[in-house]
Amino acid sequence: MIVSSMSALIARDLRLAVRHGGESLMPLIFLFSVIILIPLGVGPGPNLLSAIAPGMIWVAALLSSLLALENLFRPDLDDGTLEQWWIGQCPAGALVVARLFSHWLITAVPVIVFAPLAAQMLYLPAEALPVLVLSLLIGTPVLSLVGGLAAALTLGTNRGSVLLSILVFPLIVPVLIFATGAVSAAADGMSASAHLGLLASLLILAITLVPLATSAALRLNIE
């Protein structure tokens, strides 16, 4: 019952994303505009580019995650589908997890898939590529989770996007630091396991607390 409600929600979110075509291409447009434009600004030297490559790819992932947050719950609030979350047998916290999972699939997975290619374009050493992908796999769900909580909290405000960014940025700074730290360490030939371990602990913390807090925040907005 819970699984079928969650999978129904994920399937519908993906279907809507495909139908809105343009929006679902935004993450890739971000990634490649950052990758292509920044070298034009800072110069094409391989040393400089390989040093800033982890940060650039991560900033692209972060922006694509953040820009989709404004519409994470708002359309559902406006068309009345959100209040149905409290009527079925499936707990709202589980539906929050489903919604955040589809947000992650739409905004993060394209970036993760194309990150190795982008990293190659920026001369990132090949031995750092697995760590880059791993750091994105562990870190981007944290972005979706933290962003989801902020989106739920700012749902009641009319123009929530400014407040939303202010809420999200301080909370995801640790993710950015540990993730880019891991990739830089790997590029320098050192072990990245400490950084990745800290990143994983952030993910566990977020996955434990966020669904409960988010469903409580959504409920406040519905009432």
Partner 1 sequence: MSRMLETHQASFARNGEAVFAPVDLALDSGQALIVLGPNGCGKTTLLRMLAGILRPWQGQVVRHCQPAFLGHLPAFKGDLSCRENLAFQRRFHGGAGLEENRALARVGLAGLGLRPARTLSAGQKRRLGLAGLLIAPRPLWLLDEPYASLDDSGCELVDRLLSEHLTAGGAVALSAHQRKPVIEVEMIRVELAVTGEAA
What token pair was written down for 65?
A: 């995650």
Q: In the complex with partner 1, which residue's Cβ is closer, 19 or 159? A: 19
Neighbours of 164 (CB within 10 A): 21
Q: In the complex with partner 1, which residue's Cβ is closer, 95 or 164? A: 95
CB 142 within 8 A of CB 175: yes
Residues within the interface to partner 1 (CB under 8 A) = 1, 4-5, 7-9, 11-12, 15-16, 19-20, 78-81, 83-84, 86-89, 222-223
Closest separation in Å from C-beta 91 to partner 1? 12
Q: In the complex with partner 1, which residue's Cβ is closer, 39 or 211? A: 211
CB 108 within 8 A of CB 139: no
Q: In the complex with partner 1, which residue's Cβ is closer, 5 or 50? A: 5
Residue for token digits 């750091």?
135
Closest separation in Å from C-beta 90 to partner 1? 8
Q: In the complex with partner 1, which residue's Cβ is closer, 76 or 146? A: 76
Closest separation in Å from C-beta 21 to partner 1? 11
Closest separation in Å from C-beta 63 to partner 1? 25
Closest separation in Å from C-beta 89 to partner 1? 6
Nearest Cα to Cα of residue 136 among 56, 75, 71: 56
